[in-house]
């Protein structure tokens, strides 16, 4: 009876996870999708507690309390600007879990399994541990890059393709040795050596990816963590873990593909970590004079303009200026100005970063546009206000074949009548590329903290 209840709970939890993904497909249903996900996870934990696989309830309760406190503290403390690195470090925990659970489960003697079943079980365990090791190592490096502890520039070792192939072949061979040796209760040394090589592979894979592609890396590692969980589910014969892992793995892979398409990157190149060319080797130095503008001058221009487009970037998140941006748009709309927000697919440092910030500030969904919806209309825009964005509005992506972001689709705001860029300084963006748009004759720079600058503009209005 109890096992039937647990199975039914797993089915309901799986359905809630699917509904969660469906809800997250649109702004208006995103909150509902989050609630479905929360309910599904709560039900899954509750069902696991009731199942007969729990050996020590005291240890389980202690673990839940520790994990819950860490999660609650992270949720309360972490700023939106730190969400990408939080996600990366969470992925590393999933990878480490797959490794530890695999080791704990693998050498548990089970007389029920015959020779064929034991080989299958060993194969499932090896796949889970192998993917978990790559996910763990790659996520730690991604966290370091996003945190600024590791340089965002790609580290391309001589013969890196050969190195990756040798590492991969070595892992496959060690996996074969492990599966053979595990039939007699051995296999610890080939498995451990494979884990070490997989960690080296994960480090090398992510180190070879440049800062411009880091949003794809975060999504890609999300997919890896899902497949690691699914493999662990097969190893533990846990249907819910299999379904959940498959959902995370497939959705992460699809999102990575969509982002690669949006950035004109080859999906296979990125997902294999540096196989092929991920950008040029250098970038042309910008030449020209910067035109600086004051708040009162910007306000005069806004009063005379009819069509205004706002492009938010990572700098808006750093300055926490989303509420000031909303208030500015509200004041302009009150004055019968047509206002829109243009969102690049990878603005910020993870997919949907800017959409979440604007939604938090209550910006109406119907004036928020994706890049493809507005790129052909910039010639009709009187003023474009760029807030802390660099790479996503860089014309070098289109016109400089030597740029590291060459080929990446960008918001072509320089085609409008006038562009106002709010920045603290002339520092480059995350990809480390200079932006020639900043010295265009129709571009003006308003230097300073974006939140303070926008509040001054609102007061002046």
Is 449 part of the annotated catalytic residue set? no
Angle at 264 between CA 312 and CA 408, to 5 degrees: 45
- What is the DSSP code (8-state) at residue 392? G
Classify 285 in phi/psi space as left (phi over 0), alpha (psi -120 to 50) or beta.
Answer: beta
Set 377, 391, 400, 452: catalytic member = 391
Please report which residue ranges of 382-449 form alpha helices under DSSP H: 396-399
| Phi, then psi, of 311 in degrees rounded to 5 | -115, 105
- The token pair that represents 190 in the structure block: 């080939």
Spell 121-136 as b/e; 16+ CB within 10 A means b. bbbbbbbbbbbbbbbb
Tokens for 147? 């945190």
Task: Answer whether 426's CB lies under 8 Å from 414's CB.
Answer: no
Report CA torsion sign: 100, 66, 351, 78. Answer: negative
Q: What is the distance between the alpha carbons of residues 440 and 351, in angstroms, rounded to a whole number? A: 29
Q: What's the gap between Cα 141 and its chain centre?
A: 14
Residue 178: closest CA among 166, 170, 186, 169: 186
- For Cα atoms 212, 215, 221, give the angle at the middle one, nearest 5 degrees: 125
Question: What gap in Å lies between CA 308 and CA 377, rounded to an integer?
Answer: 11
Give me the residue label for tokens 């706002």.
310
**Active centre residues (catalytic):** 391
């Amino acid at each position: 009876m109890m096992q039937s209840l647990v199975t039914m709970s797993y089915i309901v939890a799986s359905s809630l996870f699917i509904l969660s993904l469906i809800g997250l497909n649109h702004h208006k249903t995103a909150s509902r999708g989050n609630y479905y996900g929360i309910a599904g996870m709560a039900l899954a934990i509750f069902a696991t507690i009731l199942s007969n696989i729990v050996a020590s309830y005291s240890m389980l309760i202690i673990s839940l309390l520790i994990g819950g406190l860490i999660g609650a503290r992270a949720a309360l403390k972490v700023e939106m600007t730190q969400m990408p690195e939080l996600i990366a470090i969470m992925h590393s925990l999933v990878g480490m879990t797959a490794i530890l659970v695999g080791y704990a489960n693998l050498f548990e003697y089970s007389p029920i399994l015959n020779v064929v079943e034991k080989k299958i079980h060993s194969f499932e365990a090896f796949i889970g541990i192998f993917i978990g090791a790559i996910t763990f190592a790659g996520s730690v490096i991604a966290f370091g890059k996003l945190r600024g502890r590791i340089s965002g520039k790609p580290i391309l070792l001589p013969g890196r393709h050969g190195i990756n192939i040798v590492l991969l072949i070595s892992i496959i061979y060690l996996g074969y040795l492990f599966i053979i040796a595990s039939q007699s209760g051995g296999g610890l040394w080939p498995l451990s050596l494979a884990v070490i090589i997989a960690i080296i592979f994960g480090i090398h894979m992510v180190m070879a990816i440049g800062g411009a592609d880091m949003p794809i890396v975060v999504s890609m590692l999300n997919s890896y963590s899902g497949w690691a969980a699914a493999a662990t589910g097969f190893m533990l014969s846990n249907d819910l873990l299999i379904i959940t892992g498959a959902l995370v793995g497939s959705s992460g892979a699809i999102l990575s593909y969509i982002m690669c398409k949006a950035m004109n990157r080859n999906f296979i190149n990125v997902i294999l970590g540096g196989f092929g060319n991920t950008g040029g080797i250098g970038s042309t130095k910008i030449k020209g004079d910067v035109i600086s503008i004051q708040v009162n001058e910007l306000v005069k221009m806004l009063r005379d303009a009819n069509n205004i487009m706002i492009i938010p970037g990572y700098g808006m998140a750093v300055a926490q200026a989303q509420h000031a941006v909303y208030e500015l748009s509200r004041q302009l709309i009150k004055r019968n100005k047509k206002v829109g927000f243009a969102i690049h697919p990878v603005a910020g440092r993870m997919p949907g970063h800017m959409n979440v910030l604007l939604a938090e500030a209550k910006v109406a969904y119907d004036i928020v546009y994706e890049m493809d919806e507005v790129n052909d209309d910039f010639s009709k825009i009187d003023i474009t206000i760029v807030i802390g964005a660099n790479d996503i509005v860089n014309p070098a992506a289109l016109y400089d074949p030597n740029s590291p972001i060459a080929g990446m689709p960008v918001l072509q705001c320089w085609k409008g009548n006038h562009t106002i860029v709010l920045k603290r300084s002339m520092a480059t963006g995350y990809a480390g590329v200079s932006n020639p748009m900043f010295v265009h004759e129709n571009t003006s720079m308003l230097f300073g903290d974006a939140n303070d600058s926008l509040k001054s503009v609102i007061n002046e209005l």
